[in-house]
Structure 1
Amino acid sequence: METRLTKIQKFKMSLWIIGFIFFIVMSTLAVSFGIVLSRTKKIDLNSVITNTKLGFIDNNEPNTIINKVFELNPNAKDLSLKVDEFQIKDDYAIVYALNSNYSKNVKVSFELAIDLATLLEENPFLPVDKWNENNSDIDILKIIDEMYGEQLKDENGEKLPLEVIDKNINAKTVTIKTTKEGYFGKIVFYFLEKPSNN
């Protein structure tokens, strides 16, 4: 009877050991499988770069585009991004991550801003006889409007809002910019004698 009891106990012990070993093997496989899955699962770049409408940018150079993406998508600042140079157009570009943990690419759209200086057809000068170091900014803007008002208009034909950002009394120059979105840069006007047409 004792041997029979010992055999049953040994059998139960064997089943318990086999079950324990099976549990250990399955747990190890589950952990390994989880690690493999986590390594192969890629993050969709669209989930990080969510603001794809960049607005106005000064040019469509890759660095300008990437800097604007970072500015509007703070979660992307730690990524190494690149612009597909074959996919840069006047109003969009394709951006992708250099890190292999990210999948897909993102199409970002933008509008190219206009350089204010390109609106003028001639060198920006103002008649020296209108120079007065006591001229207010408003007086100076009126002089500019009289001479260049027709050229300093937006795409709808409306006059651009201008502001004086610098007056150099010694050099007799005035620097202006516009506050209208979609334009960048500045114009330096020189108070000079008008060249003769001889």
Structure 2
Amino acid sequence: MKQGIFAFTFATLVIVSTAYAGEKNQFDFKGVVLGEIATPEFIQQTLGASCGANGGMQVCNGGVTIAQAPAAINLVIGKTGRVIRIALQFNSGEYADVEEALTGKFGVPRVHRSTVQNGIGAQFDQIESYWGDDEASVVLHRYAGTVRQSLVYFSTAEDAAMKRANAAANQGDL
């Protein structure tokens, strides 16, 4: 009888694990789902960000909050009408609250630690937390550009490809 219960439990775990592993990452910010269709009107209504056309895409910018911290948002709706990027920049003093909120929502991240240095030589512990995979990801940077700013970057494979293409086009540009 114990072997039967073990076999049933093991089989159930395998099925649940397989089903979970097969699910695609679903990342959202306040109801705007990364990789899903969205209109500028929906973004305006949901996040209060203003959108404008740029190269066949819609680029939306504005002020929002994340984990109750004020943040500047840059959201891109790609040529297919899908949300391909959500970038949120906020004061690094709010980093711990944002990290806790993201971990609560998306689970335990993979973490990379390094050291960054400012213009006068002071060094700071950088933390980059990753959720997701190559198709859809969220990255939290403790410091972004300056030690006063942090960044949450929601990205799709389409966004990553666009960034690579732009970098290649600008290669050798002084």
Q: TM-score of the superposition, structure 1-length normalised?
A: 0.24
More helix by share: 1
Q: TM-score of the superposition, structure 2-length normalised?
A: 0.26
More strand by share: 2
